[in-house]
Amino acid sequence: MKANDLAELVTQKIENLRPRLLDLSRRNPLIATKLGPRSNSHIRAVDELPDILFFKLNNGQAMRLTPLPQIDEDPRDEQTSAFREALINARLIDKQYLAEMETVERDADDYIDRTRRIERDLKDRIRDALSRSKSDPSQGIIHHEAPLAKALLGAEEGDEVEVLVGSYVRPAIVERIIKDAL
């Protein structure tokens, strides 16, 4: 056997073994990365195009990394007694919330993230329900979170605005605006 044949044989054997050496399963930490609140070995790039990020990293260009701001407190409308009471009740009777909470494993790495997401979804549903209950267009009352109210933002009495009614855009005249603080 010549040295050339031996080198070719070794190359062929390595190429045959290469697919077995590459782990494409979820055990590979380069593929199945768990990004949690305590992970400090990775950087998450938010609102950045991957190809531009790759180009800058490969070419040694300077980048400014800015952390996301902390969410310090609940929104104002979630601090009202009506919202807090609805939240307490919903935690006890909301079927979707209870079903999702039962699927969360307390020992899982993503326990905190999943419970926060489920809790946020519940709060959003409560906010929607409360904002709909405060609207009564037949009485001329529109809650500030309602789509119609958002369409009227910046309008003044006597202005003509376009309002979405079903799937049609209709002209409307603003007759009166009464602002009621929460």
Tens-digit pLDDT profile for residues 34-60: 777 677 777 777 777 888 888 888 898
Q: Where in the chain are the domains? A: 3-58, 140-182
> Which pLDDT belongs to residue 182?
43
Q: Do the beta carbons of residue 109 and residue 35 sit within 8 Å?
A: no
- Report strand pairing: 160-165 vs 168-173: antiparallel
Q: Do the beta carbons of residue 113 and residue 65 sit within 8 Å?
A: no
Q: Do the beta carbons of residue 85 and residue 92 sit within 8 Å?
A: no
In terms of pTM, does the model score above 0.85?
A: no
Separation of CA 57 from chain center: 27
What sign results for the dihedral spanned by CA atoms 132, 134, 137, 142?
Answer: negative
pLDDT at 118 over 90: yes
